Structure 1
């Protein structure tokens, strides 16, 4: 018997077909030798083996028919083997496609999350920038008010400590030092008020100038 009826890899589904092939092989003087020799080889080797038998003039025609029936059975077996390989390859490709789709979905999800995080960070940075701008503005305003207050207190103290009680104090105001104050704030520096002795000198000079303008004889 050339073809094993119980062989699931033979490629044949019907018992009567396998029985007929085996009968033809046996009737023509053949046996399982050709089938068993080439059953695990590709179709190229099977065809080459059959060609060597057919081309040999010393081989009886009946035996050539037996080998042809065995080659037919082997061709079915090769076709089944190729079909199984193709199915396995298709399954591998499908698995790879599913893996790629899963990876793509994961990457798309991560990308969307990163975009949302980026937008949130940008919004927080803008809010922090606006808050910083407001804080700097309030700081500058408080700084200005503090300097004006300290300067006004100094001027008031200098006017009260004047050495010429008969002369009304010169109305020194903060506006006279506004230029220095604004320049210091624009440069990011604290405008330093005049020292006490400098203020005293200014007060004395202003008083003398007033005495020259209004001499005692004219009173």
Structure 2
């Protein structure tokens, strides 16, 4: 069963594509989604898959802790200096969409201290289906949902599902255990998103993050062209 929609061109990118010294800055990709959908695990898998070919850094967001950053550090997916944590102190969408100053500062600090960077992943704290990133912060956004949250999530829509540059339906290995209809989720996602791509992933399987990693490579190729 093939459930991955084809990629239909690069996402829109921010206008400020150059650093103050005139060099091209890193591509910034945001990852959002509900609590427990697998955002941090997806970031970790992307880092393991891409770190030998790209120069990567990560910014994580949590409300009152640095738990996601601590997980990435424990897993040693990147050297510690390439991972920064932001404590939002408020609803996660505030720091990625409304007042992005803390995240912008973290991104710029990483660019200043580790140059050159090819890719910066900005992970939001767990939020609801309305979470989106400011285009002043990221160039493209991934929204992660999981089958255990209910196979009606794509049908419910919301900006995260309908407008993200890539929708990831994660934990497909759990579908038989929770009664989720993957084909139905694929149909509903296609109806909500039109030509925007969807990737179905199971990070428990070998190379399970491949469709997301391939999409990131495509975004980076467009960014550097």
Q: What range describes the TM-score normalised by the shorter chain of this pair? A: under 0.3
* Rg larger in structure: 1
TM-score (norm 2): 0.22
TM-score (norm 1): 0.22
**Quick one: higher RCO (CA 8 Å, sep 6+), 1 or 2?**
2
Q: Which has a greater percent of strand?
A: 2
